[in-house]
Structure 1
Amino acid sequence: MEKKINKKLLVTVLTLGGFFTTINQSILNVSLSYFKDMFDVSSTAVQWLTTGFMLVSGVLIPLMAYLMKRFTTRQLFMVAMFSLLIGGLISGIAGNFYLLLFGRLITSIGAAILMPLTMSIVTIIYPKEKRGTIMGIVGLAIIFGAALAPTLSGFILYDFSWRWLFLGLTPFVLLTIWLGYRSLVNVSETEKAKLDIKSVIYSTIGLIALLYSFSAAGGRGWYNPFVITLLTISIVFIVLFCSRQLKMKDPLLNLSIFKIKAYRMVTGIMFLVTMITYADMIILPLYLAEGRDFTPLDAGLLLFPGAIANAVLSPFTGKLLDKFGAKIVFTIGLVIMIPCLWAATDLSASTTITFLAVRTLFLRIGISFLMMPLMTESLNTLPKHLVDHGSAMTNTLRQVSAAIGTALIIAIYTSHTNVYTKKLLDLDDSLSNTNAGIRALIHSADDTYYYMTLMAVLALLLTLFLPKNKKTTEENKEEKE
């Protein structure tokens, strides 16, 4: 390689980009009820401001293995940051819900590029024994962005126009673009790789149909012909995509990585944990706003201590991963997480703020032992020549699981709310529609946490079967040779 790589500068600039992308991704989590009322849309519709963001990322991330072959680090970073800039401007000037959603979808292109790009570069330029620590530091900045976003959102909505949620990031994004242009160098040689258009079409249709079916189920029901049709279409096109990848010499996503047992198990755990994490970030603010009449600022302040703890612990958990291996770290995280989820299955109109804050604090501590360590360990199980494909697959699954988790939980929340409201009105004629609706919302939030608790228990069972050996597949292969 002709240019000497300044590792710290390279990772710093990428992390800065990830920080602002994460703020943009998370800034609406406590504000969905605000936008629901302002634009007069349903819970199912408004959740697309987050689900749509994750869906576009999930659709684009499978292209990352190809894009990293075809384009330089600087080029990919610039595309990511300009999408963040343009999408933010569109969202900031939006005059209706659909233009706001369009701006969010443009912004999500940056998220699709930055995280897999950062993970691949860290894996390429750092040895395995340092990756957990470095990804922990990267995670500190990115998770801090996620921690800051809800509270920042609350303050802006309390004192300023909602448009500053998006326009306020513009100068910082411009500064990051300038830093990236001045300092980034490529870490690998580019080549004129060919893009398989059929694979792109199959994966796009399959993922969009899958996510839209989960979203539609909230309002229409799981047995609705439209929902069943969408699910069928998604299965057909995902199967077509997978079968095509297995036959290709140079696939868009190399599915042979799933032949590695450790990778399968780690990504399975990550899928469940990500669903839970993003579902909690949506349902708890909805419960606070619709069931307890909290403002976005109140909700943001309640979530802030837990999110800060998550960010601060990220480097520490990365070091633990390097020292003790995945099984111990994941088990600690899930043992902390499960009681915190179970504690939220009995929420009521009188649940104290202290209880909610402490419960959320410990939940986020548990998550700090899981999110970044899971992503790091998924790549640690792979040989170097599969890292780009592993990074693309890991981030695809992460975004898809986040979108599925959000859509699934909102679907359960919405359908259960409708059922509970009808039952309450039938049982008590004197109960107003508003009061019945509020009580139904709280009952529905309780129900969603039962499902999340079960998912966490399943993740713990998978963790118990993880091998103790911390060596990667590549290291084992080298030892045999």
Structure 2
Amino acid sequence: MSTQIQVKSPKTMAFILMLGAFLGLFGETALNMALSNIMEQFSVTAATAQWLTTGYLLVLAILVPVSALLMKWFTTRQLVIGGLIISLFGAILAALNFNFTILMLGRVVQAIGTGLLLPVMLSVMLLIFPIQKRGVVMGLMGLVITLAPALGPTLSGVIISTLSWPYIFWFSAIAYVLLILVAVAKIANVSEISKPKIDLSSILLSTIGFGGLIFALSTMAEVAITSPKVWAPLLVGIIALILFGIRQNNMAQPMVNLRVFKYPMFTLGTLTMFLGILIILSTGILLPMYLKGALLLSAAMAGLILLPGNAVNFVLSPIVGALFDKVGARRFTIVGFILVLIGNIVFVATISSETPAWQVVVAFMILFFGLTLVMMPAQTNAMNQLPRELYADGSAAMNTLNQVAGAAGTAIAITVFTSGQSSYVTDFPNASQPEILAAGIKYAFYFTTGISVVGLIGSFFVKKPSEVTEKTPAVVKSTEPVRQ
């Protein structure tokens, strides 16, 4: 039985959803190039300014699990148009930036809008296109998920150098206005409204769990893990997430149906996406710091150096999507993680305060060549194993962990970077600031190299969902889908 739902303008709907998600994901890293400018303008420390990125990811991680519930209470039109309007309001607040508090508030509001759009995009795209076109569609979605945060530093670098950093948000606001006008005319309702009971305990546990976890990871960049400021929210977050999981499994209509993780290829695909996002967001904050602080390049030049890697992703994503059914997820992810590992090794081997720019370009291109081969096949293979009634739950679970990965990647990368700098200063007390910064960046790439090895090992266990279903029918039978 086909899961496709007929709508008048599926391609236009796809464009609206993907561009809306692109703008939101672009916002995750768009300010990375501008943090030094913002620190100077508002007289805040690096740790405080970093919350403009981490806070954005924190809100997404808290809101996305709730989205599975929202998709059962509100229509597709209400969620998409509402998400775009909220994002527009947040972009305008951030662009006005009367003070740091208003800028932070604008980031939070924009993250709320993005948190509504991301899960809706994945769920709707699986419903409005036939399964034979799913590879191409998911290829384009993979392009959005990987290109947007990676392109953030590139585009913002050019904007900062030619205009000023608030124009990052003014341009986003204009795009949101145009999208809202098109969405009002073209977005159709495809979700099934069942209005399940709202469980406030689940929402509270989810918020405390993901909020505590990300807050602790982000704070590790400033203080030691032995500090109560780190371990207390970490412990509370872990306990809350355990209680959240127990409660979901004991509910007739859970907020997020965690039974999606009984499908082995969905679990492995989600883990693969998690590792990929971890690497993307880590490099998204490390490389701008390195290019500007160690190689002493302008924001525009730093952005242009990252452009070829983004171009590789842009060109390859649709091709990977078109070839997905022929090549399969296993081959793509194995080759992809081998390239990701090579890219990270090149960074570790070459990073210094005197590295030629072309070496950074080549390493970044190799890295994103591999990530392009990994992300879409992993996501498509994961979602393909789920029945239609679990799309919303699978989408919410996957997107939640993606945001956790983004926040964790940013926080851990900065923590390892800081540790690497301290270690280098101890060994070389007379080193220059660019040398110290480069040493910290190089140290952080050991972390992403380790993540690449884990991803490569996992890729050898990837199979087609049909093969898993045939071999492990008990897993499928044990799942009790909840009506959307």
- Residues 361 and 130 of structure 1: is their aligned pair in 2 closer, same or farther, counting only changes over 3 Å? same
Q: Of 327, 331, 335, which aligns to 1:328?
A: 331
In the alignment, what sits opposite 2:481? none
Question: How far off is 1:51 after superposition?
Answer: 1.7
2:468 is equivalent to residue 464 of structure 1: no
Distance, in Å, in 2 between the alignment partners of 1:123 and 1:474 is 23
Partner SS state of residue 379, structure 1? helix
Distance, in Å, in 1 between the alignment partners of 2:189 and 2:336 is 36
1:34-53 equivalent positions in 2, closer than 5 A: 34-53=37-56
In the alignment, what sits opposite 1:412? 416
In the alignment, what sits opposite 2:130? 127
- Residues 2 and 53 of structure 1: is their aligned pair in 2 closer, same or farther, counting only changes over 3 Å? closer
Unaligned runs of 5+ in 2: 478-484
Distance, in Å, in 1 between the alignment partners of 2:359 and 2:99 is 38
Can you list the C-alpha shifts for 1:107-148, whole angstroms capped at 9, x where unaligned?
112221222111101212233332121121344456554465
- Residues 122 and 267 of structure 1: is their aligned pair in 2 closer, same or farther, counting only changes over 3 Å? same
Question: How far off is 1:424 after superposition?
Answer: 2.9
Unaligned runs of 5+ in 1: 426-430
- Residues 45 and 320 of structure 1: is their aligned pair in 2 closer, same or farther, counting only changes over 3 Å? farther
In the alignment, what sits opposite 1:451? 447
Q: Which amino acid aligns with 2:213?
A: L
In the alignment, what sits opposite 2:322? 319
Note if contact 2:265-2:465 (Cα within 8 Å) is conserved in structure 1.
no
2:251 is equivalent to residue 248 of structure 1: yes
In the alignment, what sits opposite 1:390? 394
In the alignment, what sits opposite 2:480? none
Q: Which amino acid aligns with 2:413?
A: I
Q: Which amino acid aligns with 1:411?
A: T
Note if contact 1:424-1:436 (Cα within 8 Å) is conserved in structure 2.
no
Note if contact 2:339-2:367 (Cα within 8 Å) is conserved in structure 1.
yes
2:74 is equivalent to residue 78 of structure 1: no
Note if contact 1:272-1:459 (Cα within 8 Å) is conserved in structure 2.
yes
Note if contact 2:309-2:364 (Cα within 8 Å) is conserved in structure 1.
yes
1:289-308 equivalent positions in 2, closer than 5 A: 289-308=292-311
Distance, in Å, in 1 between the alignment partners of 2:410 and 2:43 is 20
- Residues 189 and 147 of structure 1: is their aligned pair in 2 closer, same or farther, counting only changes over 3 Å? same
- Residues 474 and 307 of structure 1: is their aligned pair in 2 closer, same or farther, counting only changes over 3 Å? farther
Can you list the C-alpha shifts for 1:334-369, whole angstroms capped at 9, x where unaligned?
111101101111311111001011111111111111
Can you list the C-alpha shifts for 1:207-250, whole angstroms capped at 9, x where unaligned?
11111111111221122232121211111111111111111111
Question: How far off is 1:468 after superposition?
Answer: 4.8
- Residues 393 and 292 of structure 1: is their aligned pair in 2 closer, same or farther, counting only changes over 3 Å? same
In the alignment, what sits opposite 2:342? 339
Distance, in Å, in 2 between the alignment partners of 1:143 and 1:156 is 21
Note if contact 1:146-1:307 (Cα within 8 Å) is conserved in structure 2.
no
Distance, in Å, in 2 between the alignment partners of 1:319 and 1:266 is 19
Question: How far off is 1:456 after superposition?
Answer: 0.6
- Residues 301 and 134 of structure 1: is their aligned pair in 2 closer, same or farther, counting only changes over 3 Å? same
Can you list the C-alpha shifts for 1:3-54, whole angstroms capped at 9, x where unaligned?
8443222212222322332333332233333323433333333222222111
Can you list the C-alpha shifts for 1:426-471, whole angstroms capped at 9, x where unaligned?
xxxxx3xxx5443222111111111111111011101112225656
- Residues 160 and 9 of structure 1: is their aligned pair in 2 closer, same or farther, counting only changes over 3 Å? closer
Distance, in Å, in 2 between the alignment partners of 1:397 and 1:376 is 16
Question: How far off is 1:330 after superposition?
Answer: 0.6
Q: Of 277, 283, 287, which aligns to 1:284?
A: 287
Note if contact 1:210-1:230 (Cα within 8 Å) is conserved in structure 2.
yes
Note if contact 2:286-2:441 (Cα within 8 Å) is conserved in structure 1.
yes
Distance, in Å, in 2 between the alignment partners of 1:422 and 1:251 is 52
- Residues 109 and 291 of structure 1: is their aligned pair in 2 closer, same or farther, counting only changes over 3 Å? same
Note if contact 1:24-1:149 (Cα within 8 Å) is conserved in structure 2.
yes
Distance, in Å, in 1 between the alignment partners of 2:292 and 2:11 is 42
Question: How far off is 1:392 after superposition?
Answer: 0.4
1:75-114 equivalent positions in 2, closer than 5 A: 75-114=78-117
Question: How far off is 1:474 after superposition?
Answer: 10
Partner SS state of residue 444, structure 1? helix
Note if contact 1:383-1:472 (Cα within 8 Å) is conserved in structure 2.
no
Distance, in Å, in 2 between the alignment partners of 1:378 and 1:93 is 41
Partner SS state of residue 369, structure 1? helix
Partner SS state of residue 81, structure 2? helix
Larger deviation: 393-402 or 270-279? Answer: 270-279
- Residues 235 and 20 of structure 1: is their aligned pair in 2 closer, same or farther, counting only changes over 3 Å? closer
| CA RMSD in angstroms, aligned pairs only | 2.4
Q: Which amino acid aligns with 2:412?
A: L
Aligned residues: 472
TM-score between the two structures when normalised by the length of structure 2: 0.91
Distance, in Å, in 2 between the alignment partners of 1:44 and 1:473 is 48
Distance, in Å, in 2 between the alignment partners of 1:3 and 1:376 is 21
Larger deviation: 203-212 or 319-328? Answer: 319-328
Counting aligned pairs with the same residue, the percent is: 34
Partner SS state of residue 253, structure 1? coil
Distance, in Å, in 2 between the alignment partners of 1:216 and 1:147 is 24
Q: Which amino acid aligns with 2:418?
A: T
Q: Of 349, 356, 375, which aligns to 2:353?
A: 349
Note if contact 1:207-1:234 (Cα within 8 Å) is conserved in structure 2.
yes
In the alignment, what sits opposite 2:482? none
Distance, in Å, in 1 between the alignment partners of 2:267 and 2:141 is 24
Can you list the C-alpha shifts for 1:237-264, whole angstroms capped at 9, x where unaligned?
1111111111111111111111121122
Distance, in Å, in 2 between the alignment partners of 1:265 and 1:293 is 40
Larger deviation: 105-114 or 348-357? Answer: 105-114
TM-score between the two structures when normalised by the length of structure 1: 0.92
Note if contact 2:265-2:381 (Cα within 8 Å) is conserved in structure 1.
no
Distance, in Å, in 1 between the alignment partners of 2:240 and 2:296 is 43
Distance, in Å, in 2 between the alignment partners of 1:119 and 1:476 is 26
Q: Which amino acid aligns with 1:214?
A: L
Q: Which amino acid aligns with 1:408?
A: I
Q: Which amino acid aligns with 1:163?
A: P
2:444 is equivalent to residue 441 of structure 1: no
Larger deviation: 265-274 or 327-336? Answer: 265-274
In the alignment, what sits opposite 1:428? none
Distance, in Å, in 2 between the alignment partners of 1:122 and 1:223 is 45
Distance, in Å, in 2 between the alignment partners of 1:169 and 1:335 is 35
Note if contact 1:417-1:437 (Cα within 8 Å) is conserved in structure 2.
no
Q: Which amino acid aligns with 2:353?
A: A
Question: How far off is 1:313 after superposition?
Answer: 0.8
